[in-house]
Amino acid sequence: MAVGLKAPDHLYPVKGVRLSAVHSGIKADSKVKDLALIEIQAGSSVAAVFTQSHFCAAPVSLCRQHLAQKPASRFLLINSGNANAATGEAGLETARLCCQAVADAAGVSAEEVLPFSTGVIAEQLQPEPVLQAVAGLVEDLDANGWLATAEAIMTTDTLPKAVSVQLCVNNRPVSITGIAKGSGMIKPNMATMLTYITTDAGIPRQALAHLLDGLVATSFNSITVDGDTSTNDSCVLVATGASGVEIEDGDTEFHAALQQVFEKLAQAIIRDAEGATKFVEISVEGAASVADARSIGFTIAESPLVKTALFASDPNWGRFIMAIGRSPLEQIDTDRIDLYLGSVRLLHRGLPDPGYRESLGQDEMSRDEISIRVNLNLGDASARIWTSDLSYEYVKINAEYRS
Amino acid sequence: MAVGLKAPDHLYPVKGVRLSAVHSGIKADSKVKDLALIEIQAGSSVAAVFTQSHFCAAPVSLCRQHLAQKPASRFLLINSGNANAATGEAGLETARLCCQAVADAAGVSAEEVLPFSTGVIAEQLQPEPVLQAVAGLVEDLDANGWLATAEAIMTTDTLPKAVSVQLCVNNRPVSITGIAKGSGMIKPNMATMLTYITTDAGIPRQALAHLLDGLVATSFNSITVDGDTSTNDSCVLVATGASGVEIEDGDTEFHAALQQVFEKLAQAIIRDAEGATKFVEISVEGAASVADARSIGFTIAESPLVKTALFASDPNWGRFIMAIGRSPLEQIDTDRIDLYLGSVRLLHRGLPDPGYRESLGQDEMSRDEISIRVNLNLGDASARIWTSDLSYEYVKINAEYRS
């Protein structure tokens, strides 16, 4: 029951990128794809960020190792159904075997293959289904394999998530296409649940890595479903250069288009959050620092009491105040705070707005898409955070996840 | 549906303390008490700690002001049904009027009266019902008024919460009796939702304040239902000295009894947490610092994914690992971690225990009272945190709170 989100229709191929996906047998349901391969042409730039969890998964460790050895990755191998996390040396060995199988079938070295997993934590991933499927995946690689791949990486997602744009840079067409998965255990920290964004524009590797850090901060690192950071979060940005267009610092149109792809994919995760009935944007303005603005935004976004009020469409905005009050902040002056629900002012300079009426708040809370805006009137820093509500369905999905 | 908790039966009177409670009209249901008064005899020591919320409620501000002016408080006036928070100068004036009414009726000064409120945030508390009830409350003060008072301060609590012990110090009987309320919006920070604990032992005021800080740290500051800190949390400890017994530093039996009252009351809040079907103790041992131990304990305790697994009695302990992994820590070495569910070892030195079987985990998770134990094997610091699960009922209670 995604909020304002449909399955993607047209996805532009990206020159230099081919994809394939199958049901390999990791998931029990044979109608469901669970394994995907993405090929990146030689000479592309690749940048990646990963979960900051202390308990990162085996494939995350191996990705970091492979990127350190050979930064110009050629293949991304992604399975759903099992996270290969907290699986020790055996889990690492499984990830290595799977990379080697791709290397053998495609004629590259194992270090040029990056492995990714998502699914249940603390269960061993059986390598056999993957090893048997690899040759077929290499054979089936196709520039139009985006949708199948977006489907193969889903877990509790109800819809595949992809964003695709085409624009002209220096009078030549450039494509940007990205896919993401994620619906619960979503509070990416430096990265997110599996996301792969590619362009056929050319961007040098160092510049691409710098670009990725900035883009992730205001997209995947600005969303939360449940405050829970996964062991497997990974975000990969690829620039193949196959369009023949090289991107310069001044190409603002391209950068804006890329930022839009990041933001829309991050928002797609929230729109399809586990049990979500609301899509909520929380803007915090006038803060002394971005850290303070993000702290308030995330505290509101992760409060179970705020989230249940959102689910109930109940304008019980005392809970917004509670959440602001408990935020860990460097600086605050409650007598300066303005608080808005949509266009309705709730607090003016720290006090309930005399013009507020319950019916006004009720109208705003009844919408599917809700905006909460806090102005601290202290400084110039701001942040936007996106989140979902806490519904019966969220409890049901996560109580029954393994059954 | 409190977990392992019954309504209190026998509560010992505390010499020097009298109580009364009524339905004043703040709550709509005339069968429900919503206002209580506690009298403390002159010459008692009083210590109090309050919420650290930036948005503290009007009565909390007034309590701090009154305690600064006259530390020897004589009356505690407590209402449920309205938090008098985010109510500005009008809210402060209401709290002042209510204190003055008690002062007039009882012949003390307004500064000797401490006001407390709990209930809906951001709605004005109407003073009239309180003002009209005060004379009757003063008249009805009774040493046996504990249970009625515990009832009058309830909001979403399903049971009144009280703990009472009697012991002999220097061959003379000393009583300790305390009451608490709280069920949701529970992550006290330096204090808790309304709690009043009294003894007729004598303890000097400075010593009492020091004692309170230590006791709160390992009781009310070690519980969480939803990570949400209230605007109104308050904890008051009173020593009347009316038993004629003066407590010294070396009276370990008395201190142990007092600590037990604090712990049991804090645990009672968790046992009666909104929608709780499980009572969960999380022990973190072998940490480099108490802060690290508490950080892991609270991250596990507040993870919606851990809490839904607990509700489902699902031994999906990959979620415990996820929570440890995302804890903000000074120091960790995942290769040293041992993790237990009850008596079943899940992780040994960071790896799944080879002897683990799903049926063993299932047995532990099926209990009403669950223990999760993490040993970091790094240092000597430890902490215990108590929490509840996240059930459909929690969502229901908080989605329908105002309807």
Distance of CA B56 to the CA centre of its chain: 17
Give the nearest chain B residue to A398 (CA atoms): B308
The DSSP line for A311-339 is HTT---THHHHHHHHHS--S---GGG-EE
What region, left, alpha or beta, does residue B336 occupy, with left being phi > 0 and alpha being psi -120 to 50 degrees?
alpha
Mean pLDDT of B208-214: 84
Query: B392–A392: do the CB atoms touch at under 8 Å?
Result: yes
Do the beta carbons of residue B194 and residue B234 sit within 8 Å?
yes
- What 8-state DSSP symbol labels residue B387? E
* Six token digits for residue B132: 């009209």
Q: Which residues of B touch A232 (CB under 8 A)?
A: none
Query: B399–A231: do the CB atoms touch at under 8 Å?
Result: no
pLDDT at A87: 87
Q: Which ranges in A112-251 belong to alpha helices (H)?
A: 128-139, 146-152, 205-217
d(CA B348, CA B354): 9
The minimum CA-CA distance between B46 and chain A, rounded to whole Å, is: 26
Closest CB to B324: pick one of A55, A302, A322. A55
Do the beta carbons of residue A176 and residue A258 sit within 8 Å?
yes
- Which residue out of B87, B118, B177, B192 is catalytically annotated? B192
Q: Which residues contact B119 (CB under 8 A, 6 or more apart)?
A: B26, B79, B80, B81, B82, B83, B155
The minimum CA-CA distance between B346 and chain A, rounded to whole Å, is: 10
pLDDT at B186: 67
Number of other residues whose CB lies within 10 A of the CB of residue A376: 24
Question: What is the C-alpha radius of gyration for chain B, rounded to an integer number of angstroms?
Answer: 22
pLDDT above 90 covers a percentage of chain B that reads 54
Mean pLDDT of B111-130: 93
Mean pLDDT of chain A: 89
Q: Which residues of B touch A402 (CB under 8 A)?
A: 314, 316
pLDDT at A187: 64
Kindly state the helix (H) or strand (E) to which residue A10 belongs, with its residue range. none
Residue identified by tokens 């968790």 is B270
d(CA A134, CA A101): 7
- What 8-state DSSP symbol labels residue A142? B
Q: Which residues of B touch A329 (CB under 8 A)?
A: 54
Q: Does B224 score more than 60 pLDDT? A: yes
Q: Which ranges in A70-113 belong to alpha helices (H)?
A: 88-106
d(CA A301, CA A223): 9
Do the beta carbons of residue B148 and residue B18 sit within 8 Å?
no
CA-based end-to-end distance of chain B: 21
CA atoms within 13 Å, Cβ hemisphere of A359: 0
Q: Which residues contact B164 (CB under 8 A, 6 or more apart)?
A: B8, B10, B11, B12, B146, B175, B176, B177, B178, B261
- A15 to each of A79, A286, A360, B211, how far by Cα in Å? 24, 43, 51, 70
pLDDT at B188: 62
The minimum CA-CA distance between A316 and chain B, rounded to whole Å, is: 8
Q: Does B99 score more than 90 pLDDT? A: yes
* Six token digits for residue B123: 């709605």
Under-70 pLDDT residues of chain A: 1, 184-193, 402-403
d(CA B367, CA B372): 12
The minimum CA-CA distance between A333 and chain B, rounded to whole Å, is: 8
Residue identified by tokens 């220096």 is A170
Q: Any idea which residues of A carry the catalytic annotation?
A: 192
Number of other residues whose CB lies within 10 A of the CB of residue A214: 12
Do the beta carbons of residue A229 and residue A52 sit within 8 Å?
yes
Question: How many contacts, defined by CB atoms under 8 Å, are there between A and B?
Answer: 199
Mean pLDDT of B95-99: 98
Query: B352–A322: do the CB atoms touch at under 8 Å?
Result: no
* Six token digits for residue B90: 């009008």
pLDDT at B60: 92
- B348 to each of A87, B142, B336, B374, how far by Cα in Å? 12, 56, 8, 10
Residues B10-42: pLDDT tens digits? Answer: 899 999 999 999 999 999 999 999 999 999 999
Query: B304–A398: do the CB atoms touch at under 8 Å?
Result: yes
Residue type (1 letter), B84: N
Query: B325–A392: do the CB atoms touch at under 8 Å?
Result: no
- B341 to each of A111, A164, B267, B361, how far by Cα in Å? 38, 46, 19, 7
Query: Is residue B330 exposed (0-12), middle (13-18) or buried (19+ Cβ within 10 Å)?
Result: exposed
Closest Cα partner for B243 from B176, B178, B173, B177?
B173
pLDDT at B52: 78
The DSSP line for A196-229 is EEEESSB--HHHHHHHHHHHHHTTGGGEESSSPP
Q: β-strand A279-287 against A369-375: which pairing, if any?
A: parallel
Query: B325–A53: do the CB atoms touch at under 8 Å?
Result: yes
pLDDT at A403: 56
* Six token digits for residue A255: 């950068």
d(CA B297, CA B218): 13
The minimum CA-CA distance between A16 and chain B, rounded to whole Å, is: 36
Residues B255-296: pLDDT tens digits? Answer: 888 888 888 888 888 888 888 899 999 999 999 999 999 899
- What 8-state DSSP symbol labels residue B123? S
Do the beta carbons of residue B217 and residue B197 sit within 8 Å?
no
Residues B105-119: pLDDT tens digits? Answer: 999 999 999 999 998
d(CA B234, CA B162): 16
CA atoms within 13 Å, Cβ hemisphere of B184: 26
Q: β-strand A338-341 against A369-375: which pairing, if any?
A: antiparallel
Q: Which residues of A touch B303 (CB under 8 A)?
A: 226-228
pLDDT at A42: 93
Query: A304–B87: do the CB atoms touch at under 8 Å?
Result: no
Query: Is residue A167 exposed (0-12), middle (13-18) or buried (19+ Cβ within 10 Å)?
Result: middle
Q: What is the largest CA-CA distance in chain A?
A: 71
The CA angle A184-B157-A328, to the nearest 5 degrees, is 50
Residue type (1 letter), A143: A
CA atoms within 13 Å, Cβ hemisphere of A148: 20
Mean pLDDT of B89-111: 97
d(CA A92, CA A287): 44
A180 DSSP β-pair partners: A161, A195
Do the beta carbons of residue A191 and residue A154 sit within 8 Å?
no
Query: B326–A229: do the CB atoms touch at under 8 Å?
Result: yes
- B131 to each of B96, B117, B155, B188, how far by Cα in Å? 11, 15, 21, 30
ipTM, two decimals: 0.79
d(CA B403, CA B401): 6
Residues B366-397: pLDDT tens digits? Answer: 999 999 999 999 999 999 999 999 999 888 88
The pTM score is: 0.82
CA atoms within 13 Å, Cβ hemisphere of B120: 17
* Six token digits for residue A41: 């042409």
Q: Which residues of B touch A229 (CB under 8 A)?
A: 322, 325-326
Q: Strands across the sheet with A17-22, in order?
A: A17-22, A35-40, A75-82, A113-120
Which domains does chain A show, CATH number per domain?
A: 17-271 (3.60.70.12), 279-399 (3.10.20.340)
d(CA B135, CA B25): 15
Q: To 10 degrees, the CA torsion angle through A389, A390, A391, A392? A: 170
d(CA B163, CA B265): 6
d(CA B75, CA B34): 17
Do the beta carbons of residue A75 and residue A116 sit within 8 Å?
no
